[in-house]
Structures are given as C-alpha cells and as structure tokens.
Amino acid sequence: MIRLFTAVRLPDHIRMALPVPEGAGIKTVPAANLHITLRYLGEIRREKTDELRSALRTVSFNPFTATVMGTGCFPNRRNPAVLWIGVEPAGKFEAIFYRIEDALRPLGYGPEKRRYHPHITVARTDAHAKKAAVGFLGEYAAFSAGDFEVEEFVLYESILKRSGPEYRVDSVYS
C-alpha cells in the first residue's frame, strides 16, 4: 500500500517567501513539503496505481496565474489546529479539484466529504499554541508572496517517517 495525493507544486521563490509561524506547540511544515493539495487519495494498493495514473491523465485545465496571499486556519480561530496561507483564484483550483474527482469516480472514489478550500498548510498546532497561532494570523493577514503560473499538477507519494512525512513525485500532469 502507498499513500497518494494530488497537489500543485510551489516554485522556490514562493516557498522561500512564506512566513514561518513560531511558538510553543507549533510544528511547521518543512519548505520542501509545501504545496497546494488538490485531492488526498489515501492508501492505494500498488497494483492500482497504473489505472489511477491513467485516470489523472484525462484531467485537463488551462494554465493560470495564482496569487499567494493572506492567512487562515482550520477549523476556526478558537481552535486553530492548522495554519495556512491562502491562494487565489480559488475557483481555478476548485475546477481542477472537481475534474480530478470526476476522473476518479469510475475507480470507486466517492466525493470528498469536506468542502475544498485551496491553501498552503504552513504549520500544525497543539492546544498550547493558540496565542502564538492567533498572533501569526493577525500579523500576516495582509501577507502576499506574489504570483506564479499553475501549468501542471502532481501525484505525490507520502512516505511516513519518524521525522515526518516525505513527499516523492510519482507523476506530473499538465
């Protein structure tokens, strides 16, 4: 079994421009792991990956310019478990997400239960990090890292290690 997800890679100039939250109880995402998740696929039997890749090859979209700006959290400011940086235009990312969902439906994938919200996760927090997390959200509310061109998406394998997940590019789709 392998863990897979689809995402948009971030160019170096964007990854390096993102603010890094600090404080007790905040675990930041390493710069090499920063991305915009499109669809988490979960644990897949290795022998099913060829049909998955084939389905993803049917997903097409017109390239577009994305803007990285603003901050937010999940699930809410009272319990900021995930800190993120926003991306626009959300509708363009949503369109790719829904095309991926449509391509995966014949393979038995049901619709994602949560509403899709494109973002870049920069940190995860524990119960002790609320003050630092809310401070980060306020300090970087007007943050902007600039623009980049979205011309492709990636199928990543997520390899869980003691030091944290490692993401390996499986295939690229444009």
**Where in the sequence numbering do the catalytic residues fall?**
35, 119
CA 127, CA 124: separation in Å to the nearest integer? 10
DSSP class of residue 109? Answer: P
Alpha carbon 160 to its chain's center: 17
Burial class (CB in 10 A: 0-12, 13-18, 19+), 47: exposed
31 HSE (CA, 13 A, CB side): 10
Which residues are registered as beta bridge partners of 37?
7
CA 94, CA 71: separation in Å to the nearest integer? 18
